[in-house]
């Protein structure tokens, strides 16, 4: 029996190993440089010097807040927390129903450890939900002036 001569045909497969190597190197470069792109800015929030008695009004304000876990809530008239949806559209719709009383101010506060973006997101949802001219206040701690 005679062996047939093999004809060397080109292999029609793509060698992906070099591509994987390049992708892994790029991933490592990205992982090393990404933390360097974030610049921390130290922000020292002001302490208000206002009179605590000036906050009292006829109607109690609607108090909204953000927990340190990023959950949104409001205090109902009984003083209990009611958690709000975290999606932007649902949050704005819920706030539009809740903040419908024009005689009540809206007060927003965030836990000291919460990311500022979460408080800003709540403020934007409140801004979309309230009518023009309604007062929205950011709650702070009143300083006693001793330092």
- What is the residue-level pLDDT of the chain in tens, covering all 147 positions? 566 666 777 777 888 999 999 999 999 999 998 877 766 555 555 566 665 555 544 677 888 888 877 888 888 777 777 888 878 777 777 777 777 776 778 888 787 777 878 888 888 888 777 776 667 777 776 666 555
Asked if 72 and 64 count as a contact pair (C-beta separation under 8 A), the reply is yes
Gap between the Cα atoms of 108 and 120, Å rounded = 10
Instruction: Report pLDDT for 10.
Output: 76
- Annotate 75-139 with DSSP letters as a single string: E-TTS-EEE---SHHHHHHHHHHHT--TTS-EEEEE-TTS-HHHHHHHHHHHHHHSPTT--EEE-
Long-range contacts (CB closer than 8 Å, 24 or more residues apart) made by 88-94: 88/121, 88/125, 91/122, 91/125, 92/125, 92/128, 92/129
Instruction: Report pLDDT for 19.
Output: 94
Asked if 96 and 106 count as a contact pair (C-beta separation under 8 A), the reply is no
Gap between the Cα atoms of 32 and 11, Å rounded = 38
52-138 is classed in which CATH architecture?
Answer: 2-Layer Sandwich (3.30)
pTM above 0.75, yes or no: no
Using DSSP bridges, classify how beta strands 72-75 and 106-110 pair: parallel, antiparallel or unpaired.
unpaired
Domain boundaries defined on the chain: 52-138
């Amino acid at each position: 029996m005679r062996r047939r001569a093999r004809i060397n045909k080109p292999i029609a497969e793509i060698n992906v190993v070099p591509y994987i190597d390049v992708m892994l190197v790029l991933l490592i470069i990205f992982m090393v440089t990404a933390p360097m792109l974030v610049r921390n800015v130290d922000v020292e929030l002001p302490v208000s010097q206002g009179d605590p008695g000036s906050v009292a009004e006829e109607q109690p304000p609607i108090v909204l807040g953000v927990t340190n876990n990023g959950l949104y809530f409001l205090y109902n008239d009984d003083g209990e927390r009611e958690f709000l949806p975290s999606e932007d559209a649902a949050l704005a719709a819920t706030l539009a129903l809740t903040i419908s009383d024009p005689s009540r101010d809206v007060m927003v506060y965030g836990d000291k450890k919460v990311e500022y973006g979460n408080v800003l997101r709540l403020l934007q949802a409140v801004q979309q939900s309230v009518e023009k001219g309604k007062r929205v206040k950011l709650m702070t701690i009143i300083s006693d002036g001793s330092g």
